[in-house]
Amino acid sequence: MSIHKMFFLSMLALAASGCSTDTFLVHNGNMPSADKVSMVKQGQTKNEVESILGSPSAVTSFDEKTWIYMSSTLEKIAFFTPQEKDREILTITFNAEGKVAEIKNYDLSSGKNISIDTAKTPVSGTKVGFFRRYFGGVGAYLPIAPSGYDDRL
């Protein structure tokens, strides 16, 4: 075996030994325990729910009638993309009087994959026209500053 092959194999073995195979589980969110969730009943007020479960992870932005408690567990291995192993979502919807109307639980199987559309939307005003391109800078250069002009601003 030549010295080049020995060197290449030793470098390959060194590089492979440096790769980590450690698995890390990362838990995100503030999902309350099942005991606390079972204490929430229809007809309770927002203050009562908050005293039992604590602050929600999120509140819907359109009507603020739905509180969301969520948590997820991700598995991370070295430099690979993390994989979601577990997800729990609790939604509590309040009626117009601010009392619990509906309680729903979701998990990882309830989710849907949404494809991202990469198409670009044209925005008016971003295309530079002839006059702006050639005459747009007229008057922008002031070789003699007007009185009272401070160029340090």
Got the DSSP string for 92-124? EEE-TTSBEEEEEEEEGGG----PPP-PPPP-T
**pLDDT on residue 148:** 61
Q: What percent of the chain has pLDDT over 90?
A: 35
Handedness of CA 31, 87, 34, 98 (dihedral sign): positive
CB burial of 46-83 (b: ≥16 within 10 Å; e: otherwise) equals: beebeeebeebbeeeeeeebbbebbbbbbeeeeeeeee
Contact residues for 99 (Cβ-Cβ < 8 A; gap 6+): 42, 43, 44, 45
CB burial of 15-35 (b: ≥16 within 10 Å; e: otherwise) equals: eeeeeeeeeeeeeeeebbeee
Query: What distance in Å separates the CA atoms of residue 66 and residue 63, rounded to the nearest whole number?
Result: 8
pLDDT per residue as tens digits for the range 36-91: 999 999 999 999 999 999 999 899 888 889 999 999 999 988 778 889 899 999 99
The domains of the chain, with CATH numbers, are: 32-110 (3.30.1450.10)
Cβ neighbours of 120 (radius 10 Å): 6
Strand, helix or coil for residue 148: coil
Mean pLDDT of the chain: 83
What is the pTM assigned to this prediction? 0.60
* Model confidence at 93: pLDDT above 70: yes
| Direct distance between the N- and C-terminal alpha carbons of the chain, in angstroms, rounded to an integer | 70
